[in-house]
Amino acid sequence: MSEKKICLLKDFLSLIACFAIALIMAVCIRLFVFELVRVDGNSMKPTLYDGQTLFVEKISLHTNQIQRGDIVIVHYPGRSGAYVKRVVALAGDVVEVKDGYLYLNGVKQEEPYTLDETMHWDAEKTVVPEDCYYVMGDNRNDSMDSRSIGSIPKEDMIGKALFVIWPISAIHSLN
């Protein structure tokens, strides 16, 4: 084989290796670091609107940094798709919706971010299991959430939304 062909072969293999490394890095970043998620529906009004795109980081899941009030992306057990919700309770918390208001560990919660002041239906008192989160939409009267699905296991959490990045006119932090 001529020296020129060997050089071309080395260049070609080098190019293939670069593409393979870039692909592996992209997959790892999406799986473990961040991804973009589109809001689908009205369950998070007035905080988020249908069609907005969120920057979602995943490192918090591995460092146990999810807290009450965080907006998260979750899978519902036994259902397809991803859902955008707000964490309202952590493992060990006692949650109840009574007379249209959220109670956490017996204390009525002030929730200025919700669309309506009261909810149209109540939910029985429940204790959030170990390694689980209780999530609700900000549009409480139009949200399928932990009141009907139950607590969300940690392994069904996708990540924590940090920013709205689209549309450009709506860019803002979610903290």
Mean predicted lDDT score pLDDT of the chain: 90
- Which of 94, 153, 92, 142 is closest to 120 using CA atoms? 142
Residue 160 annotated as catalytic: no
Q: Which DSSP state fits 128?
A: P
Among 4, 5, 45, 85, which one carries the catalytic annotation?
85
Among 43, 143, 146, 151, which one carries the catalytic annotation?
43
pLDDT score for 78: 81
pLDDT score for 1: 67
DSSP string, 52-99: -EEEEE-HHHHTT---TT-EEEEPPTT--S-EEEEEEEETT-EEEEET
* Tens digit of each residue's pLDDT, the chain (175 residues): 678 878 888 888 888 888 888 888 877 666 676 788 999 999 999 999 999 999 999 887 777 789 999 999 999 988 888 999 999 999 999 999 999 999 999 999 999 999 999 999 899 999 999 999 999 999 999 999 999 999 999 999 999 999 999 999 989 999 7
d(C-alpha 172, C-alpha 150), whole Å: 30
Query: Which tens digits make up the pLDDT trace of 43-62?
Result: 999 999 999 999 999 887 77
Written out in words, the top-level CATH class of the domain with range 34-173 is mainly beta
Q: For the chain, what percent of residues have pLDDT higher than 70?
A: 96
What does the domain layout of the chain look like in residue ranges?
A: 1-32, 34-173
Residue 85 annotated as catalytic: yes
pLDDT score for 2: 77
CB 145 within 8 A of CB 135: yes
CB 56 within 8 A of CB 146: no
pTM over 0.85: no
